[in-house]
Amino acid sequence: MPIPDTLTSAAGSCGHTTHEHTDTSAMAEQAEGDVGSWGVEQVARWLEAEGFPDYVPLLCDQHRLDGPSLLSLREDDLRTPPLQMTVLGDIKRLMLAMTRLQCRHPLTVHELGLTHHIEHDMQGTKYSAVQCNGRHESHVSEGTAYSRLQPSFQRSSEQWHPFANGKWRNTRLDPEYWKTALSAVYAMFVCGVTAFVMVIVHERVPDMRTYPPLPDIFLDSVPRIPWAFAMAEVCGLTLGIMFILVLLLHKHRSILFRRFFSLTGTVFLLRCVTMLITSLSVPGTHLQCSEKMYLDTWGKIERALTIWFGLGMTLTGVHTCGDYMFSGHTVVLTMLNFFITEYTPRGWYFVHTVSWVLNLFGIFFILAGHEHYSIDVFVAFYLTTRLFLYYHTLANTRAFHRSRRARVWFPLFSFFECNVEGYVPNSYSWPFPRPHLLKIIIG
pLDDT band at residue 128 using 50, 70 and 90 as cut-offs:
very low
pLDDT band at residue 296 using 50, 70 and 90 as cut-offs:
confident
User: What domains can you pick out in the chain, each with its CATH number?
Assistant: 2-171 (1.10.150.50), 177-434 (no CATH)
- Specify whether the CB–CB gap between 380 and 334 falls below 8 A: yes
Q: How far is the C-alpha of 336 from the C-alpha of 360, rounded, in Å? A: 12
Report pLDDT for 42: 87
| pLDDT single digits (tens) 88-98 | 888 888 888 88
CA 27 to chain centre: 43
| pLDDT single digits (tens) 194-246 | 999 999 998 888 888 888 899 999 999 999 999 999 999 999 999 999 999 99
Q: How far is the C-alpha of 312 from the C-alpha of 72, rounded, in Å? A: 55
Active-site pick, 161, 202, 250, 372:
372
Report pLDDT for 220: 92
Beta pairing, strands 135-139 & 129-132: antiparallel
Active-site pick, 5, 121, 323, 376:
376
CB burial of residue 341 (10 Å; 0-12, 13-18, 19+): middle
> Average of pLDDT values for 424-432?
82
Average predicted confidence (pLDDT) for the chain: 77
- For this structure, is 110 an active site residue? no
CA 251 to chain centre: 15
| pLDDT single digits (tens) 362-374 | 999 999 999 999 9
Per-residue buried b or exposed e for 411-428, using 16+ beta carbons within 10 Å of the residue's own CB: ebbbebbeebbbbbbeeb
pLDDT band at residue 138 using 50, 70 and 90 as cut-offs:
very low
Q: How far is the C-alpha of 101 from the C-alpha of 121, rounded, in Å? A: 16
- For this structure, is 372 an active site residue? yes
> Average of pLDDT values for 79-84?
84
Mean pLDDT is lowest, of 23-37, 129-143, 253-267, for 129-143
Helices 374-397 and 349-368 meet at what angle, rounded to 10?
Answer: 150
- For this structure, is 352 an active site residue? no
Report pLDDT for 137: 38
154 or 82: which carries more pLDDT confidence? 82
Report pLDDT for 385: 96
The closest of 423, 426, 402 to 413, measured between CA atoms, is 402
Active-site pick, 161, 250, 252, 329:
329
Report pLDDT for 123: 42
Q: Which are the contacts of 209, defined by CB distance < 8 A and separation ≥ 6?
A: none
What is the pTM (predicted TM-score) of this model? 0.61
